[in-house]
Amino acid sequence: QVQAVESGGGLVQPGESLRLTCRLSGHTFDYAPVSWYRQAPGKEREFVASISTAGGSTTYADSLKGRFFISRDNDENTVYLQMNSLEPDDTAVYYCKCLSWWGQGTQVTVSS
């Protein structure tokens, strides 16, 4: 059983940066990779990034590679999503996922 809680969302202007945090708990955390997804209004949920248990392997959606960065701190059971040069199209609810467990999401709104 895994619990995931996202935080760090908010309202930012285009071009600014934001770091999301996913704090995890549960005894399966050490065995599992973690992913970030997002869902914009009226759109399907889409993959953003993933990271291996040790943090040495990362994967990104092609459109976000080079602008978004995922990392983790296993000692703190925490996964981060650093988002740079944010655009209005990045507006979405961002979710972290560990195995079959989803967090509740955190809203990111990019607007001037």
CA distances from 87 to 12, 61, 90, 106, 110 (A): 9, 16, 5, 17, 6
What are the tens digits of pLDDT across the range 6-51?
Answer: 999 999 999 999 999 999 988 655 668 999 999 999 999 999 999 9
What are the tens digits of pLDDT across the range 42-85?
Answer: 999 999 999 988 777 999 999 999 999 999 987 788 999 999 99
Residue-level pLDDT at 6: 97
State how far the Cα of 38 lies from the Cα of 31, in Å rounded to an integer. Answer: 23
Residue-level pLDDT at 81: 98
Residue-level pLDDT at 32: 84
Residue-level pLDDT at 26: 81
Residue-level pLDDT at 56: 78
State how far the Cα of 9 lies from the Cα of 19, in Å rounded to an integer. Answer: 8
Q: Is 49 helix (H, G, I), strand (E, B) or coil?
A: strand
* CA atoms within 13 A of residue 86's CA, in its CB half-sphere: 23
Q: Which residues of 82-92 are buried (b: 16+ CB within 10 A; e: fewer)?
A: ebeebeeebbb
Mean pLDDT throughout 88-94?
98
Cα 71 from chain centroid?
10
Residue-level pLDDT at 30: 64
- For 57, the token pair is 């392997």
Residue-level pLDDT at 28: 59
Residue-level pLDDT at 38: 98
Q: Which residues, listed in sequence order, are joined to residue 71 by a DSSP beta bridge?
A: 80
